[in-house]
Chains A and B, each alone.
Chain A
Amino acid sequence: MEASFGVSSAAAANAVNSPALSPPSLPFIRSEARPISWRVDKSRKAGKITTKAVAAQAENPASAASKPGHEVLLFEALREGLEEEMERDPRVCIFGEDVGHYGGSYKVSKGLADKYGDLRVLDTPIAENSFTGMAVGAAMTGLRPVVEGMNMGFLLLAFNQISDNCGMLHYTSGGQFTIPTVIRGPGGVGRQLGAEHSQRLESYFQSIPGIQMVACSTPYNAKGLMKAAIRSENPVVLFEHVLLYNLKERIPDEEYVVSLEEAEMVRPGEHVTILTYSRMRYHVMQAAKTLVNKGYDPEVIDIRSLKPFDLYTIGNSIKKTHKVLIVEECMRTGGIGASLTAAINENFNDYLDAPIVCLSSQDVPTPYAGTLEEWTVVQPGQIVTAVEQLCR
């Protein structure tokens, strides 16, 4: 996970090839070289190893020279987005534990307290319920607070404030109040952090009416989603992942904002639609390399918007491939995958050639032991097997 994948989304207007994907640095994959009659990619010959499973970007040295961009790690991209929005709008403020003087436990708000002062980058005591409520109250008067949960799991303590006040006040007041808050923080299964610090709250929050949920996965979309979430008049929950903070990517120097409701096409393909988000995107891409060598052509979509789903992009993909595999980090019961399965079945049943396969984490508290933890989340090998079975 520490390797910088440098995955650039095809939706980016100016994606630049990352140098990290040069062949010598990748593991050597030996394909089985079985000719498969319905293989679409004519450029591949039996036995040839393809090391780039990501759709190749047009090598354009001219554009690379004129708009070089700059390399950032994901947490730096988040910080850039936050800083740009705070500069632009004096109403944007940050609430959270250790966000000020300490600079944020994942350094997302480093340096901001020195620049904007202690009131705007507020170090709160450990009182999630209350400071989330405080953020909602401040938002009712017009401020635009960004609430950081040091770990998303801690925000379970603030569930009442997020669901009743954040989500519902716009409705119960008949439209009088808008709550333009952003609630963000790292979640997901990390490296042996233990059960309570490996929570995936997207499954708990998904039925709250009135909020939007997005999950970032690359430095490019992290910055864009942060900016969009702050600018949005609706309350937005931005899910980050503990293990993705050190991803490196080259992002443009110019300002950009990414759409909150759109999914991202990571790798176009023909055989199967793989829907994923956050860290599982990288497991899927790793599996995609193996799959491509085996002759499959998966279409990988990072759904990004967890509430509402971008059924437009997803639907178009299903109409093309007719098979769906969902790979998520939520638990099997009641997760994002479960809702997505239901939504796709309702809307695109006619286009499906096979039942939707959903790979999720096991319904267990995340164990501490490394080997056990590895088996609670979906691994690339399982994704490969699932695609092979689906495309049989």
Chain B
Amino acid sequence: MALTRRSLHLHLIRPIFSARLLTTASTSPISIETSLPFTAHNIDPPSRSVQTSPHELLSFFRDMVLMRRMEIASDSLYKAKLIRGFCHLYDGQEAVAIGMEAAITRKDCIITAYRDHCLYLGRGGTLVEAFAELMGRNGGCSKGKGGSMHFYKKDAGFYGGHGIVGAQIPLGCGLAFAQKYSKDDSVSFMMYGDGAANQGQLFEALNMAALWDLPAILVCENNHYGMGTAEWRAAKSPAYFKRGDYVPGLKVDGMDALAVKQACKFAKEHALKNGPIILEMDTYRYHGHSMSDPGSTYRTRDEISGIRQERDPVERVRKLILAHDLATEKEMKDTEKEVRKEVDEAIAKAKEMPSPDPSELFTNVYVKGLGVEAFGADRKELRAVLP
């Protein structure tokens, strides 16, 4: 099931508690203050008070619970050896994906690195396609040929899904260039981590984006650890939002979905008028870097549980909902149960899908059937290319 924003009509077919909650939730605006103020570099920060609505908050809750549940389920699937290779989980960082989606349209492009499962869901990908791709089945979003690190959704402006750290940033620069070339008033968000922030190609891309005023927004998802290396051990200056020098930057509390939404909205307006901007999302991942990393050799369990208690994005939204009386405890618990069921059904469906056909090994290496027609000057012989 795709996320609530798009699939609301599907929910109406099967009356469920949360659906009733969402359909009856109003869209009247509520103003909520972000947990922390924004820190700005070379720019005036946006205001701390964010416009939202009960409907939006409830959908934030449901979507984040869905993402959290999907990542935890992927953990179990990996341990059961149904998912192989590398599996980088996003739980703890959901607020970044959710807040960003709330601020932009599907015409805007998002490109990220390998921690892409939840961003794929946010862009409209379905659970079944995600699980099928993770398990290497035919029905996956990349036909089972990409894997965990290669989720793409062209029609929704999600450009992946890249395994090499930092290589997606120049690609994102290219997306922004194409948007400027076709003048369609959209922006590109290129996401990278604190580890990738030390890549040279980032600064090359930043220089080019600033030189040509490309509508590029660089989003650093700073979860403070580049695999096993803490940020202060890898970067002389861990203030990633300031690293752009002449490019303005904003530091955002990445565990607060509303702050992320405000920052992305602000960034989009800025990028369309003035060129690139850097957003540093201060966030945290509960799992290790990937499933082969326990995540506890370079940080203490106290630190992880501390963050979970104080800054967890799902809990923050839950408290907001309760504080504003938008739903009861029981209703939210029912939502969680229902999401869990949805995820389990999606996994069951994905498990039944077959592996890709052996002939798929050779498809999509080259683009077939679109061969270049070769002809001589007199056009007597027209030779088509043999695939």
Is A391 at the interface (CB under 8 A from chain B)? no
Q: What is the CA–CA distance of A224 and B386 in the complex, to the nearest angstrom?
A: 17
* B residues 165-213 touching A (CB-CB < 8 Å): 167, 169-175, 177-181, 200-201, 204-205, 207-208, 211-212
- Residue of A140, A172, A209 touching B146 (CB-CB under 8 A): A172
Task: Give the top 5 A-B pairs by smallest Cβ distance, nearest first.
Answer: A137-B174, A133-B170, A13-B376, A252-B377, A137-B171
Closest to A173 in B: B152
Q: Could you tell me if A136 and B385 are in contact, using CB atoms closer than 8 angstroms?
A: no
Q: Could you tell me if A171 and B171 are in contact, using CB atoms closer than 8 angstroms?
A: no
Q: How near does chain B come to A228, taking the closest CB pair, in angstroms?
A: 5
Is B93 at the interface (CB under 8 A from chain A)? no
Q: What is the CA–CA distance of A231 and B372 in the complex, to the nearest angstrom?
A: 6
Is A14 at the interface (CB under 8 A from chain B)? yes
Cβ of B323: which chain A residues have Cβ within 8 Å of it?
none
Known A13-B380, A129-B170; contact A233-B367, beta-carbon cutoff 8 A: yes
Cβ of A24: which chain B residues have Cβ within 8 Å of it?
none
Q: Could you tell me if B173 and A130 are in contact, using CB atoms closer than 8 angstroms?
A: yes
Q: Could you tell me if A131 and B374 are in contact, using CB atoms closer than 8 angstroms?
A: no
Cβ of B143: which chain A residues have Cβ within 8 Å of it?
174-175
Q: Could you tell me if A160 and B167 are in contact, using CB atoms closer than 8 angstroms?
A: yes
Q: How near does chain A come to B374, taking the closest CB pair, in angstroms?
A: 4
Known A131-B170, A234-B366, A261-B385; contact A125-B161, beta-carbon cutoff 8 A: no
Q: Could you tell me if B167 and A164 are in contact, using CB atoms closer than 8 angstroms?
A: yes
Q: Could you tell me if A254 and B211 are in contact, using CB atoms closer than 8 angstroms?
A: no
* A residues 139-182 touching B (CB-CB < 8 Å): 139-143, 160-161, 164-165, 169-178
Q: How near does chain B come to A302, taking the closest CB pair, in angstroms?
A: 16
Q: Could you tell me if A14 and B142 are in contact, using CB atoms closer than 8 angstroms?
A: no
Cβ of B140: which chain A residues have Cβ within 8 Å of it?
174
Q: Could you tell me if A125 and B204 are in contact, using CB atoms closer than 8 angstroms?
A: yes
Q: How near does chain B come to A80, taking the closest CB pair, in angstroms?
A: 13
Q: How near does chain A come to B368, taking the closest CB pair, in angstroms?
A: 9
Closest to A11 in B: B376
- Residue of A137, A142, A259 touching B170 (CB-CB under 8 A): A137
Q: Could you tell me if A133 and B171 are in contact, using CB atoms closer than 8 angstroms?
A: yes
Known A93-B181, A119-B181, A140-B171; contact A174-B381, beta-carbon cutoff 8 A: no
Cβ of B153: which chain A residues have Cβ within 8 Å of it?
176
Q: Could you tell me if B208 and A133 are in contact, using CB atoms closer than 8 angstroms?
A: no
Q: Could you tell me if B377 and A13 are in contact, using CB atoms closer than 8 angstroms?
A: yes
Q: What is the CA–CA distance of A127 and B150 in the complex, to the nearest angstrom?
A: 26
Residue interface mask A212-251, B partner, CB < 8 A = 1:
1000000000001000100111100000000000000000
- Number of A residues contacting the other chain (C-beta, 8 Å)? 62
Is B364 at the interface (CB under 8 A from chain A)? yes
Q: Could you tell me if A174 and B364 are in contact, using CB atoms closer than 8 angstroms?
A: yes
Known A127-B204, A135-B174; contact A257-B367, beta-carbon cutoff 8 A: no
Cβ of B204: which chain A residues have Cβ within 8 Å of it?
125, 127, 129-131
Q: How near does chain A come to B66, taking the closest CB pair, in angstroms?
A: 24
Q: Could you tell me if B171 and A165 are in contact, using CB atoms closer than 8 angstroms?
A: yes
Residue interface mask B355-379, A partner, CB < 8 A = 1:
0000000011111001111111111
Q: Could you tell me if A173 and B374 are in contact, using CB atoms closer than 8 angstroms?
A: no
Cβ of A12: which chain B residues have Cβ within 8 Å of it?
376-377
Closest to A251 in B: B377
Q: Could you tell me if B150 and A173 are in contact, using CB atoms closer than 8 angstroms?
A: yes
- Residue of A143, A161, A177 touching B178 (CB-CB under 8 A): A143
Is B84 at the interface (CB under 8 A from chain A)? no
Q: Could you tell me if A210 and B377 are in contact, using CB atoms closer than 8 angstroms?
A: no
Q: What is the CA–CA distance of A140 and B205 in the complex, to the nearest angstrom?
A: 17
Closest to A308 in B: B366
Known A170-B364, A178-B367, A257-B374; contact A13-B177, beta-carbon cutoff 8 A: no
Q: Could you tell me if B154 and A176 are in contact, using CB atoms closer than 8 angstroms?
A: yes
Q: How near does chain B come to A169, taking the closest CB pair, in angstroms?
A: 8
Interface residues of A, dominant DSSP:
loop
Cβ of B211: which chain A residues have Cβ within 8 Å of it?
125
Q: What is the CA–CA distance of A228 and B159 in the complex, to the nearest angstrom?
A: 27
Cβ of A174: which chain B residues have Cβ within 8 Å of it?
140-146, 152, 364
Is A74 at the interface (CB under 8 A from chain B)? no
Q: What is the CA–CA distance of A254 and B377 in the complex, to the nearest angstrom?
A: 5
Q: Could you tell me if A232 and B174 are in contact, using CB atoms closer than 8 angstroms?
A: no
Q: Could you tell me if A256 and B377 are in contact, using CB atoms closer than 8 angstroms?
A: yes
Cβ of A127: which chain B residues have Cβ within 8 Å of it?
201, 204-205, 207-208
Q: Could you tell me if A138 and B181 are in contact, using CB atoms closer than 8 angstroms?
A: yes
Q: What is the CA–CA distance of A178 and B383 in the complex, to the nearest angstrom?
A: 23
Cβ of A252: which chain B residues have Cβ within 8 Å of it?
376-378
Q: What is the CA–CA distance of A187 and B386 in the complex, to the nearest angstrom?
A: 28
Closest to B180 in A: A119
Is B45 at the interface (CB under 8 A from chain A)? no
Q: How near does chain B come to A155, taking the closest CB pair, in angstroms?
A: 14
- Residue of A134, A140, A142, A171 touching B208 (CB-CB under 8 A): A134
Q: What is the CA–CA distance of A5 and B55 in the complex, to the nearest angstrom?
A: 76
- Residue of A69, A120, A129, A177 touching B201 (CB-CB under 8 A): A129
Question: Would you give 21 A-B contacts (Cβ < 8 Å), ordered by A?
Answer: A13-B376, A120-B181, A125-B204, A127-B201, A129-B170, A129-B204, A134-B171, A137-B111, A141-B175, A161-B167, A170-B364, A172-B147, A172-B152, A173-B142, A175-B364, A177-B159, A228-B374, A252-B376, A256-B375, A258-B374, A262-B383
Q: Could you tell me if A173 and B160 are in contact, using CB atoms closer than 8 angstroms?
A: yes
Is A67 at the interface (CB under 8 A from chain B)? yes
- Residue of A14, A143, A258, A261 touching B181 (CB-CB under 8 A): A143
Closest to B171 in A: A137
Q: Could you tell me if A140 and B174 are in contact, using CB atoms closer than 8 angstroms?
A: yes
Q: How near does chain A come to B250, taking the closest CB pair, in angstroms?
A: 23
Q: How near does chain A come to B321, taking the closest CB pair, in angstroms?
A: 37
- Residue of A69, A134, A138, A171 touching B205 (CB-CB under 8 A): A134
* A residues 17-74 touching B (CB-CB < 8 Å): 67, 69
Q: Could you tell me if A134 and B372 are in contact, using CB atoms closer than 8 angstroms?
A: no
Cβ of A140: which chain B residues have Cβ within 8 Å of it?
159, 171, 174-175
Is B162 at the interface (CB under 8 A from chain A)? yes
Q: What is the CA–CA distance of A119 and B208 in the complex, to the nearest angstrom?
A: 12
Cβ of A172: which chain B residues have Cβ within 8 Å of it?
142, 145-147, 150, 152, 161
Is A260 at the interface (CB under 8 A from chain B)? yes
Q: What is the CA–CA distance of A11 and B160 in the complex, to the nearest angstrom?
A: 44
Q: Could you tell me if B373 and A257 are in contact, using CB atoms closer than 8 angstroms?
A: yes
Q: Could you tell me if A133 and B142 are in contact, using CB atoms closer than 8 angstroms?
A: no
Is A379 at the interface (CB under 8 A from chain B)? no
Cβ of A258: which chain B residues have Cβ within 8 Å of it?
374
Known: A173-B152, A177-B152. 13 other contacts (CB 8 A): A125-B211, A129-B204, A134-B170, A134-B208, A137-B175, A140-B159, A165-B167, A169-B160, A172-B161, A234-B367, A254-B378, A255-B377, A261-B385
Cβ of A69: which chain B residues have Cβ within 8 Å of it?
377
- Residue of B201, B372, B383 touching A232 (CB-CB under 8 A): B372
Cβ of B367: which chain A residues have Cβ within 8 Å of it?
170, 178, 233-234
